[in-house]
Amino acid sequence: MKKAADVIIIGGGINGCAAAYYLAKRGVKDVIVLEAAKSIGHGGSSRNGGGVRQSGRDPRELPYAMYAVKHMWPTLSEELGVDVEYCQAGNLRLGKTEAHLEKLNRLAQNARNAGVDVRMIDAKEVKEINPYLSDEIIGASWCPTDGHANPMLTTLAYYKRAVELGVSFVKDAPVKAIQKVKGKARKVITADGTVFEGETMILAAGYESREIARTVGIDIPMTRYFEEALVTEMQPPMFDQMLGTADADFYGHQAKHGSFVFGSECGLEEAADMPLTDTRTSSLTMSAGCRAIMGYIPALKDAKIVRSWGGWLDMCIDEVPVISPVEEVPGLILACAFTGHGFGTAPSVGLMLSQMVVGEETVVDISALRYNRFKADR
Q: Which helix (H) or strand (E) holds 203?
A: strand 195-203
Strand partners, 147: 52
Closest CB to other proteins among residues 141, 259: 259
Closest CB to other proteins among residues 232, 354: 232
Closest of 71, 41, 43, 68 to residue 53, by C-alpha:
68
Q: Which helix (H) or strand (E) holds 124?
A: helix 123-129
Q: How far is the CB of 169 from other proteins (least distance, A)?
A: 4
Q: How far is the CB of 192 from other proteins (least distance, A)?
A: 7
Cβ atoms 262, 230 nearer than 8 A:
yes
CB atoms within 10 A of CB 217: 10
User: Residue 217 in 3-state DSSP?
Assistant: coil
Q: How far is the CB of 160 from other proteins (least distance, A)?
A: 5
Q: Which helix (H) or strand (E) holds 113?
A: helix 98-113
Closest of 300, 330, 322 to residue 368, by C-alpha:
322
Closest CB to other proteins among residues 62, 94: 94
Q: How far is the CB of 205 from other proteins (least distance, A)?
A: 16
Burial of 231 (0-12, 13-18, 19+ CB in 10 A): middle
**What is the crossing angle of helices 151-164 and 14-25, to 10°?**
30
**What are the backbone angles phi and psi of residue 226, rounded to the nearest 5°?**
-95, 130
Q: How far is the CB of 318 from other proteins (least distance, A)?
A: 31
Closest CB to other proteins among residues 91, 168: 168
Q: How far is the CB of 278 from other proteins (least distance, A)?
A: 8
First-residue to last-residue Cα distance in the chain: 50
Q: How far is the CB of 188 from other proteins (least distance, A)?
A: 13
Cβ atoms 139, 121 nearer than 8 A:
yes
Which residues contact other proteins (rule: CB under 8 A)?
1-2, 38-42, 46, 132, 152-153, 155-156, 159-160, 163-164, 168-173, 190, 192, 194, 231-238, 257-258, 278-284, 286-288, 290-291, 293-294, 299-309
Q: How far is the CB of 56 from other proteins (least distance, A)?
A: 25
Q: Which residues contact 163 (CB under 8 A, 6 or more apart)?
A: 169
Closest CB to other proteins among residues 37, 123: 37
CB atoms within 10 A of CB 328: 11
Q: How far is the CB of 10 from other proteins (least distance, A)?
A: 14
Q: Are strands 184-190 and 222-232 parallel, antiparallel or unpaired?
A: unpaired
Closest CB to other proteins among residues 139, 151: 151
Closest CB to other proteins among residues 59, 131: 131
Q: Which residues contact 255 (CB under 8 A, 6 or more apart)?
A: 50, 85, 148, 150, 261
Closest CB to other proteins among residues 234, 358: 234
Q: How far is the CB of 110 from other proteins (least distance, A)?
A: 33
Closest CB to other proteins among residues 113, 287: 287
Closest CB to other proteins among residues 120, 163: 163
